[in-house]
Structure 1
Amino acid sequence: MTTSDLVGLRIKTVRRQRGLSQAQLAHPELSDSYVSLIESGKRTPTPAVLELLAQKLDCSLSYLVNGVTAEQMEDIELGLGYARLALENGEVSEARTRFAELLANNNLTGLTRLRQDTEFGLALATEAAGELDEAISILNRLREEELTPERHIEIAIALCRAYRESDKLTEAVEVGERILGGAVRPTWSDLLVELGSTLLAAHLFRGDLLRARQFAAELLNAADLLGTPRSTVAACWNAAVVAHTTGHYDESLSFAERALAVQSETGQPRNLARMRKTFASLYLRIRPGEAEEARQMLLRAEQELAQSSASTVDQARCRLELARAELVLGNPERSVSAARSGADMLPVAARFMEAESHLLLSRAFGALGDGRQAEAELNEVRDWLTPLPDSRRVAATWYAAAETMEQLGDEDASVEAYRRALSCAGL
């Protein structure tokens, strides 16, 4: 049924409940034939006529338009606000429950905008819980609906990110390029820069460094033109990662420092914690002699992530970086503890990060002199990496695993891992 059909049906239902004829409802302002056309869905009443009919029928305008009373609408909006607040505060399970309860409310069925808001919230909460496949399913279902331009981009950002974290890099790129890769690119906005930054990371993970470098420069130019904190953080954040990957280390820290400074001024706890984690990770790799400072930043980021709407993937990534810092600092036992706790938080879909966690564990056990356990962890690395499609980061992890195998004296396994690394890199 169309919106006009539904509005007409509600008017007809309430009129009959009130014991009124069409002529009685119409008199004196309207004609009974006009009321008949409205009730049959053949005419769409103006806002002024709807307000008049609501007064005559002694019901709320909200009910005629949406099928719910003003009180029911207020309850729905309040429930949605509580669900969003729970997600922002890191109460992911509570948020998912609240979003799901709202969607089960029949009163939400005819409220398209609020239902889409609720489904999008559920998708974000599901992603935050680490259930990436389910989040992708919700987002793809939403993407097929008629959406506002802003919501369409927000869904694309979340979907691109979820595909990327699931190591489905081809799908991640397709989502971003569908909006940004056309012959005529839409005018840049904060949301489009964020989408571009998410897409940029997918290009980087796939190993398309030239495209990543060019796109990073384009996003930085767009952010400079917009001059907004949101676009500046998104562009500088990912430009820092690209610069590090391509060997421009001072530039990398400069971009990351700028993004962190701007993010610190604008709030948004989740993104501030994620940016701090990124900065600490880059700092650890570029200045390993100052690993303790990086460790302190990671500990702070860990606390902030736990108190925000950050996903379990974000929190796990921070734990794994802590494990890396502890290893650099010569604390292999702490490294094992951090890596294990990070691995325990990972969803099954995050196969690449599982491989990374076992590689860290192998190196930590090697530092402890436990060769048997180190080898067992390397076997896990093989198991998690083998099904993954070729990409730059998969090649890098095979190479790191080969180095570790060589250090443990397993030359045959090391040669095979080097071969896999070359194959993933297209060599």
Structure 2
Amino acid sequence: MLLLKRYFSRGNVTGQDLVGQRIKAVRRQRGLSQAQLAHPELSDSYVSLIESGKRTPTAAVLDLLAEKLECSLTYLINGVTAEQMQEIEHMLSYARLALENGEVAEARARYLELLGDSGLAGLPQRRQDAQYGLALATEACGDLDGAIALLSELRQGAAAEMAPERHVSVAVALTRCYRVQGDSTRAVQVAEQILGGAVRPVWTEGLIELGTALLAAYAERGDLLRAHHFGAELLAAAELVGTPRATVLALWAEAIIAVETGRSDDAVALADKALAIYAENGDPRNVATLRVDYAQIRLITRPSEAGICRDMLARVEAELQESSANATTKLKCAHHLARAELLLGRPESAREHIQSVLSMIEGMPRGLQAEVHLLASETMAELGRNEEASRELTQVAQQLDGAPTTRQTAHAWLTAAQVLERIDEPARSVDAYQRALACVGL
């Protein structure tokens, strides 16, 4: 019945033509005339009109014709057999699982393979799923330009057939990609097209997530006052939505804004509350991921509590080894452990963790690779291994060259400059300082 509802909701002549053509093709394969197919329930002229695309069959007639032709209703409507549909569903599930587990290159390849399947032509919803999945996998592979192109094409080309929830999820991804790319203005524009009117739409979980993406874009372009006011509105909206996920999303976004505006106590309090709610309601794997991010906030806002963070991260690391957590989460956990050990004045222990991280960075986004090499350079400098620190900083420069001119990039260049100054490479240090200033328009 759901299949029939989707067919009649399309309301397009092309769909009618294709259904008629399939009925005609199967009828001929069965060696039946139009009169034989029609008898006794229908007239042969009615069957002729259906086959020529001049008449839209009712749900009951479609069901009857599928039975008389001894084929599946799925095939008449979508042009795929039940077996093909099962295979498509299986491939979609495999690609989604690969993406969730951090196997981003594999996910990208699987989605591309799916989109090359001619069977998807008659399955607009499944095609959208594959296009959206490909965009996310492309983003995860670090190809932001490619992801933006895919998301923009999906947003424009399939707008009429796209469910409201998918419209919002595409806007979330597009906002995020533009922000990470360094184009915070475009990021804000995408989100505000939906959320920026004088009258807000009825809030949903999806719109709360879009709101958090908008908050991050405000923060990235330095519009912290606006971010603070909108964050308060988002928290109130999350209370109206009333779901744990909506509340956690809003709390976490506001915690990040609190970090950016130097409100350390507020940041920790908001993060504490978000983690407590999610620990009761979230999937264990996602809870572990949130704990990793929580430890990062604590390390930034309360470096004196590095010991507490280290112990927490050590427990999370053990949990991640026994779970199907994705590679990015495992990498970030080891990275933050190294940072905690460095803050505790234990550079040798930090080096052990950073070596583990370095073994995992292949195929990761360039920004994340730069962060890892930067921490490695700090660790080597602390150990007095200046040559190794210098080599790590060369890797940092290679990853940051051509990177978006965001505040995060500026901070990375600033840290690199300080480490270069420490290991007595003044010329490279001056260049890194200049690059940091250029990132903030100075």
TM-score (norm 2): 0.84
Distance apart, 1:184 and its partner CA: 4.6
**C-alpha separation in 2, matches of 1:76 and 1:351:** 32
For each residue in 1:403-427, what CA deviation from the matched residue of structure 2 results, as whole angstroms up to 9, or x when unmatched? 4344445556555555554554456
Q: Which residue does the alignment assign to 2:205?
A: 190
**C-alpha separation in 2, matches of 1:202 and 1:311:** 26
Distance apart, 1:243 and its partner CA: 0.6
Q: Which residue does the alignment assign to 1:265?
A: 280
For each residue in 1:301-357, what CA deviation from the matched residue of structure 2 results, as whole angstroms up to 9, or x when unmatched? 446667446463x54443332221121122223433434554564578844444433
Distance apart, 1:224 and its partner CA: 1.3
Worse-superposed segment, 295-304 or 182-191: 295-304
Q: Which residue does the alignment assign to 1:294?
A: 309
For each residue in 1:136-186, what CA deviation from the matched residue of structure 2 results, as whole angstroms up to 9, or x when unmatched? 444333223231111121222233334444445444434333332345542
Distance apart, 1:47 and its partner CA: 0.8
Distance apart, 1:237 and its partner CA: 1.1
Residue pair 1:87, 1:308 contacting (<8 A) in 2 also:
no
Worse-superposed segment, 36-45 or 112-121: 112-121
**C-alpha separation in 2, matches of 1:284 and 1:14:** 66
Worse-superposed segment, 347-356 or 110-119: 347-356
- Specify which of 177, 199, 220 is matched with residue 214 of structure 2: 199
**Aligned CA distance change for structure 1 residues 361 and 6 (closer, same or farther; 3 Å):** same
**C-alpha separation in 2, matches of 1:423 and 1:97:** 37
Q: Which residue does the alignment assign to 1:69?
A: 81
Residue pair 2:98, 2:107 contacting (<8 A) in 1 also:
yes
Q: Does 1:332 align with 2:347?
A: yes
**C-alpha separation in 1, matches of 2:325 and 2:134:** 12
Distance apart, 1:258 and its partner CA: 1.5
> Identity percentage over the alignment?
55
Worse-superposed segment, 297-306 or 185-194: 297-306
Q: Which residue does the alignment assign to 2:257?
A: 242
**C-alpha separation in 1, matches of 2:348 and 2:310:** 15
Q: Which residue does the alignment assign to 1:81?
A: 93
Structure 1 residues 7-22: aligned runs within 5 Å:
7-22=19-34
| Structure 1: 5+ residue stretches without partners | none
**C-alpha separation in 1, matches of 2:366 and 2:95:** 30
Q: Which residue does the alignment assign to 1:46?
A: 58
**C-alpha separation in 1, matches of 2:105 and 2:430:** 45
Residue pair 1:127, 1:135 contacting (<8 A) in 2 also:
yes
**Aligned CA distance change for structure 1 residues 63 and 126 (closer, same or farther; 3 Å):** same
Residue pair 2:101, 2:327 contacting (<8 A) in 1 also:
no
**Aligned CA distance change for structure 1 residues 120 and 305 (closer, same or farther; 3 Å):** farther
Q: Which residue does the alignment assign to 2:3?
A: none
**Aligned CA distance change for structure 1 residues 181 and 319 (closer, same or farther; 3 Å):** farther
**Aligned CA distance change for structure 1 residues 165 and 336 (closer, same or farther; 3 Å):** farther
TM-score (norm 1): 0.86
Residue pair 1:207, 1:391 contacting (<8 A) in 2 also:
no
Residue pair 1:100, 1:122 contacting (<8 A) in 2 also:
yes
Residue pair 1:233, 1:260 contacting (<8 A) in 2 also:
yes
Q: Does 1:115 align with 2:130?
A: no
Worse-superposed segment, 257-266 or 377-386: 377-386
**C-alpha separation in 2, matches of 1:378 and 1:17:** 68
Worse-superposed segment, 224-233 or 338-347: 338-347
**Aligned CA distance change for structure 1 residues 167 and 339 (closer, same or farther; 3 Å):** farther
- Specify which of 38, 42, 59 is matched with residue 26 of structure 1: 38
Distance apart, 1:358 and its partner CA: 3.2
**C-alpha separation in 1, matches of 2:85 and 2:71:** 14
Structure 1 residues 142-221: aligned runs within 5 Å:
142-144=154-156, 145-146=158-159, 147-221=162-236
Worse-superposed segment, 220-229 or 258-267: 258-267
**C-alpha separation in 1, matches of 2:17 and 2:184:** 44
Q: Which residue does the alignment assign to 1:275?
A: 290
Distance apart, 1:35 and its partner CA: 1.7
Q: Which residue does the alignment assign to 1:358?
A: 373
Bigger RCO (CA 8 Å, 6+ sep): 1
Residue pair 1:378, 1:401 contacting (<8 A) in 2 also:
yes
- Amino acid paired to 2:209: E
Q: Which residue does the alignment assign to 2:407?
A: 392
- Amino acid paired to 1:141: E
State the aligned residue count. 426
- Amino acid paired to 1:115: R
